[in-house]
């Protein structure tokens, strides 16, 4: 089967083709985002730049070390920009890069899916 990663101009018929790993493009997105709380952090940063402590308060379910790890992962993958301001004490602000801002449409679709199906613990088909 043709490698989808090499075919930038997929036709409608090819849109849902998969290779041996299932959905290679989705897998690569999950590798980029990686961390458990990445989606929540991206959603919060979409509201605007935040200092670490403010971000920690805004995403209260995330522990300090987990937030640190998520921010490092997102920065490494070009989703988050880290700006250090030379003040006393030093202040650091996090914001989304263009790549990170572009992810907002996907987050909105995930939110729509969660609204429709997220509370359906049985997994029943809705008709």
pLDDT band for position 114 (cuts 50, 70, 90)? confident
Does the pLDDT of residue 117 top 60, yes or no? yes
Helices (H), the chain: 24-33, 38-45, 52-58, 64-76, 98-102, 104-117
What is the rounded CA–CA span in Å between residue 126 and residue 100? 33
- Separation between Cα atoms, residue 61 and residue 59, nearest integer Å: 6
**Poorest-pLDDT segment among 17-21, 50-54, 87-91, 106-110:** 17-21
Helix (H, G, I), strand (E, B) or coil at 56: helix
- Which is nearest to 80 in space by CA: 110, 35, 113? 35
Residue 60 has pLDDT above 70, yes or no: yes
Read off the pLDDT of each residue in 91-102 and give the average, rounded to a whole number.
Answer: 95
pLDDT at position 11: 42
22-52 b/e with 16+ CB inside 10 Å = b?
A: eeeeeeeeeebbebebbbbbbbbbeeeebeb
Written as six digits, the tokens of 62 are 């995330």
pLDDT score, position 14: 46
Q: Return the pLDDT at 50.
A: 97
């Amino acid at each position: 089967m043709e490698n989808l990663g090499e075919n930038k101009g997929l036709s409608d018929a090819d849109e849902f083709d998969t290779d041996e790993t299932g959905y290679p493009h989705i897998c690569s997105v999950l590798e980029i985002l990686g961390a458990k709380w990445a989606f929540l952090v991206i959603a919060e940063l979409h509201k605007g730049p935040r200092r670490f402590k403010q971000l920690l308060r805004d995403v209260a379910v995330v522990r300090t070390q987990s937030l640190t790890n998520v921010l490092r992962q997102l920065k490494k993958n070009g989703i988050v920009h880290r700006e250090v301001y030379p003040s006393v004490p030093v202040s650091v602000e996090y914001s989304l890069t263009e790549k990170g801002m572009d992810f907002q449409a996907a987050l909105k679709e995930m939110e729509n899916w969660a609204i429709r199906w997220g509370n359906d613990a049985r997994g029943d088909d809705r008709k």
